Structure 1
Amino acid sequence: MPKITHFESIKQYCDFNNQGLLHPQIALVDLSLAAPRKLQRMQFNFYLVFLKEIKCGNLRYGCNSYDYDEGTLVFLAPGQVIGEAGKEIYQPIGKALAFHPDFLIGTDLAGKMDDYSFFSYEANEALHLSERERGFIEDSLSKINRELEQAVDKHTRRLLVSHLQLFLNYCTRFYDRQFITRANANRGVLTKFEALLSEYFRSGQAEAEGLASVAYFAERLHLSPNYFGDLIKKETGILAQEHLQQKLIRIAKERLHDPEKSISEVAYGLGFKYPQHFTRLFKKVVGMTPGDYRKVG
């Protein structure tokens, strides 16, 4: 297995890129100052956002094909591994915004980080910026950098967190745009998802493997669970888990009309380990137990 280079601190990452340190918990790194290096796998103990300034085809973080060439943002949460090992030498270009989770402790942003689900996307699900969007992003990063260059005082942390939150909110807006502009591709994913879901129940996989999960279908569609979940929410207006549940209840209703099947058989066939769990869910969604539904049906 290829060696993974671990970065525990912001300072360690700045040193790695020949960059001075202005704040121990947040930094805007100019990657062009780094020495040329080999491709390698890396893991970080902090959040990282890469703004790549080269053509997307040259992105060194697993990108396949992109809609825009003006700029690309790749998001990493603490603990994620990115990159690929190789002998090729390349010169990093672009910027990297690094900030440690401890920097957010005690701020409103700390409780909102889970809302920025793109930190758990894969590299090939990066945010591809139009020229106009890139202007907003670079302006946000410039404000963060200007504040970092100020002498530290009692206002520093509050202002940096405020600029950081604005930056992340812009990223959320632009991701929403990306889902919209990829509507045709997204509908293709939704169609494949529906086919896989139907096959999961029809083939007996549910009984063999258990209840259908978002992660299961995301993997088969070659998407990260978070990106897949967000895509389904944008396309259908409901959570992916709700979509699974609705499908399950529809099939449950169909199978309950078969008098040859017991309620326990229906439950096991849908992937439930215990029939009472099926009964509880069915009553919660439909408003009556499977037995009562069978009587009125």
Structure 2
Amino acid sequence: MESNELKIGDSQLIKINTIEEYTELFGCPSANHPLISINRLTDVKEFIPIGNPVQLNLYTITIKDGSTCNSKYGWRDYDFKKGTINFFAPGQIHSWNEKTENSGRWGWLLAFHPDFIRKYPLGTKIDKLKFFSYETNEALHMSDAERSMIEGIMESIENEYKQNIDEHTQDIIVSQLDVLLNYSERFYTRQFRTRNSVESDVLTRFQFVLHNHFENDKDKLITANDIASQLAMSTHYLSDLLRNLTGLNTQQHIHAHLIERAKNLLLTTNLSVSEIAYALGFEYPQYFSRLFKSKTGQTPVEFRNTN
């Protein structure tokens, strides 16, 4: 695998482009299909390239027993510990500080090449599934019932995977992958909503960051990435969590806050529209005017005159 190693600082970046390379690196049994591999954790050798970053140019899904992993939800301990699922899109960098014990451990490793689903509707749909870009500590945590359902889907995929490959194999497995991801979307929605009482603190912290920015840092517009970074969350995870808590994603909250501040300035000061735009952090007043009209149905001047 020397041809797949790139020097980055003092470490070698190992690039994994094929299922064969994946199974070799992680000690999985030889794949039955050139574009997909599914294995129970107990069948995976306990070998991980400690200290070397790995770029997996594959879709990978890791399902593990929650009691044997760091069960966190954002920065909090999580009350469901029956199992966790992590989703990774091609191109992400992975690294490990220590080996994990797979012997006797419940869980699955599923990896598939983008070409495996490319000709199917799932090949387009998967790009819209934001949980493939969540951080590891923002894993999906399963209840007993959810774990049982996921186990059934994985067993169905495994059974088909172990059959002799024919013209129906890929169609059947892709359809089961679609079901797996559909249920994962449902479970993530449940995870957001059932944690409202705990995660209301996220909303409080989010609002503090937003207000604090406009009070103390008016030189530039705040972005969804800026806020997520301050809250130690991934941008997509924060946005999805806020949408489930409030009905608005991060960008919509930022816009709503901007419009309310703009309205106050338009009605309580003699600042020009351009001066208000700069005061809010806009580099170009024209962008502020377009945003204001798209949200209120009026230009800033029309709003000031009619009110």
| TM-score, reference length from structure 2 | 0.88
How many residue pairs match? The answer is: 290
Per-residue displacement from partner, 1:67-126 (whole Å, max 9, x unpaired)?
A: 2221111111111123333xx444345311111111111111111113321111000000
Return closer, same or farther for 1:4/1:69 CA change in 2, 3 Å cut-off: farther
Q: Distance in 1 between matches of 2:185 and 2:225?
A: 22
1:116 aligns with 129
1:9 aligns with 18
Q: Distance in 2 between matches of 1:77 and 1:65?
A: 25
Give 1:216's match in structure 2, choosing from 203, 220, 226. Answer: 226
Q: Is the 8 A contact 2:29 2:43 kept in 1?
A: yes
Q: Is the 8 A contact 2:62 2:108 kept in 1?
A: yes
Shift of 1:196: 0.9
Shift of 1:238: 2.2
Shift of 1:27: 1.2
Q: Is the 8 A contact 1:64 1:124 kept in 2?
A: no
Q: Distance in 2 between matches of 1:237 and 1:271?
A: 25
Aligned counterparts, 1:184-199, within 5 A: 184-199=197-212
Q: Distance in 2 between matches of 1:81 and 1:112?
A: 23
Q: Distance in 2 between matches of 1:231 and 1:64?
A: 14
Q: Is the 8 A contact 1:57 1:64 kept in 2?
A: no
Shift of 1:58: 5.3
Q: Is the 8 A contact 1:56 1:65 kept in 2?
A: no
SS of equivalent to 2:268: coil
1:70 aligns with 82
Unaligned segments of structure 2, at least 5 residues: 1-8
What is the percentage of aligned positions where both structures have the same residue?
A: 38
Shift of 1:200: 1.1
| Residue identity matched to 1:9 | T
Per-residue displacement from partner, 1:145-183 (whole Å, max 9, x unpaired)?
A: 111112222211111110100011111111111112211
| Residue identity matched to 2:302 | D
Shift of 1:48: 0.6
Aligned counterparts, 1:80-95, within 5 A: 80-85=92-97, 88-92=98-102, 93=105, 94-95=107-108
Aligned counterparts, 1:90-109, within 5 A: 90-92=100-102, 93=105, 94-109=107-122
Per-residue displacement from partner, 1:275-297 (whole Å, max 9, x unpaired)?
A: 11111111221122111222222
Q: Distance in 2 between matches of 1:133 and 1:89?
A: 28
1:142 aligns with 155
Shift of 1:260: 3.4
Q: Is the 8 A contact 2:28 2:39 kept in 1?
A: no
Query: Does 2:282 align with 1:269?
Result: no
1:256 aligns with 266
Return closer, same or farther for 1:287/1:18 CA change in 2, 3 Å cut-off: closer
Unaligned segments of structure 1, at least 5 residues: none
Return closer, same or farther for 1:200/1:56 CA change in 2, 3 Å cut-off: farther
SS of equivalent to 1:257: helix
SS of equivalent to 1:55: helix
Q: Distance in 1 between matches of 2:190 and 2:118?
A: 30
Query: Does 2:239 align with 1:229?
Result: yes
Give 1:50's match in structure 2, choosing from 59, 62, 72. Answer: 62
Return closer, same or farther for 1:30/1:42 CA change in 2, 3 Å cut-off: farther
Shift of 1:29: 2.2
| TM-score, reference length from structure 1 | 0.91
| Residue identity matched to 1:13 | Y
Shift of 1:56: 4.2
2:296 aligns with 286
Return closer, same or farther for 1:83/1:66 CA change in 2, 3 Å cut-off: farther
